[in-house]
Amino acid sequence: MKNILQDLNLNELELLVLNFGEKKFRAKQLYDGIMQGKKLSEINVPAAFRKKLLEQYEDEPVKIKETFRSADGTEKYLFELADGNIIEGVLMSYKYGNTQCVSTQAGCRMGCKFCASTLGGLIRNLTSGEILAQVLTVNALHGGANVKRQVTNIVLMGSGEPLDNYLNVVKFLKNVTAEGGINISARNISLSTCGLVPEIYKLAEEEIPVNLTISLHQTSDEGRARTMPIAKKYTIAEILKACEYYFEKTGRRYIFEYSLIDGENCGDKDAQALINLLKGKPCHVNLIRLNEVKERTLKSVSEKQAYKFLGALERGGLSATLRRQIGADIGGACGQLRAGYLKNGGSNPQ
């Protein structure tokens, strides 16, 4: 694989152009082209310079291989990386704008039992530029540039555990929020983690106040360990402490993801335990009905059961919402599209 221009910030591009014997202002031309989602071969710099760059840098590090459109307007993408690895992403339209879900790793090594991303383990970390290029490519696909953005919000909820790829993810966050670039505000970005406690503390110090989302899914450590191996390493109490710290440092309320799994985590007792755990904390609970994954045996709940659980949380004083299930007709859950694609030898994704 060649190098990836999207890995570089403006200062680094300046060093690069000087190394190539070019004038410093060429860096800004490259940067603007990148931020507009252009391929290197389309960026407006002198042809001879471009040719030299193309010998060392990928023309298009993240290519849209296939697009799937849901009846509700959601779009899912299969992206191909320069080394042939496949990752996936989603764009969801809301009244306030468009939220893109990005992947941070090809595969995942966290091993959560309900999740399709982890079925084949971790293949590799994505570079910061490969994460950024997902956003730039989709923004350009929808006619956006760095000034008039089409992607307004980002969630790091695609394949991978963002905090298991800490340095690349932080660099991505710095580049995607940089003034003069695509400049998506940190408050419009949510980072979701299964709960890597030391990295939550580190992230709190980065001065990029993104929304922190924790995949909780259970109210006890034993229960959590049944579906999430990471629960054997860090306790819920440790995670809550790290969240408090994140709140103190950033002023951002934190969010818990709670996927409703039949017979596992959504009885009356579970609702009460969740209330006891979180009441009075500056947090919000996002409920989502499990997206059933073919390769897994866990079952989802009915809409009625989900609303019952939501009602119990609200009566108990928690701030909670039941997330709409969107894009389910096109392989809704995390990693399903990629898993389907790989299983079918790279053809029919479903």
Interface contacts to ligand SAH, rule CB under 6 A: 110, 112, 114-115, 157, 161, 192-194, 215, 257, 259, 288, 290-291, 293, 333-334
Question: Distance between CA 92 and CA 101 in Å, rounded?
Answer: 8
- The verdict on whether 334 is a catalytic residue reads yes
Out of 14, 58, 88, 257, which one is annotated catalytic? 88
Kindly tell me which of 136 and 285 has the beta carbon lying closer to ligand SAH.
285
Q: How far is the CB of 249 from ligand SAH (least distance, A)?
A: 20
112 carries an active-site annotation: no
Nearer to ligand SAH, 115 or 243 (CB): 115
CB of 108 to ligand SAH, least distance (A): 6
Distance of alpha carbon 105 from alpha carbon 162, whole angstroms: 8
Taking the least distance from each CB to ligand SAH, the nearer of 4 and 110 is 110
Residue 1: C-alpha distances to residues 81, 103, 137, 171 (Å): 9, 19, 19, 20
The smaller minimum CB distance to ligand SAH, of residues 57 and 254, is found at: 254
* Partners of 213 in the β-ladder: 192, 255
What DSSP assignment string belongs to 126-189? PPHHHHHHHHHHHHHHTT--SSS-S--EEEE-SSS-GGGGHHHHHHHHHHHH-TTTT---GGGE
User: At how many degrees (to 10) do helices 236-250 and 197-204 cross?
Assistant: 10
Which string of DSSP letters, residue by residue, matches 43-78?
A: S-S-HHHHHHHHHHB-S-SEEEEEEEE-TTS-EEEE
Catalytic residue list:
88, 334
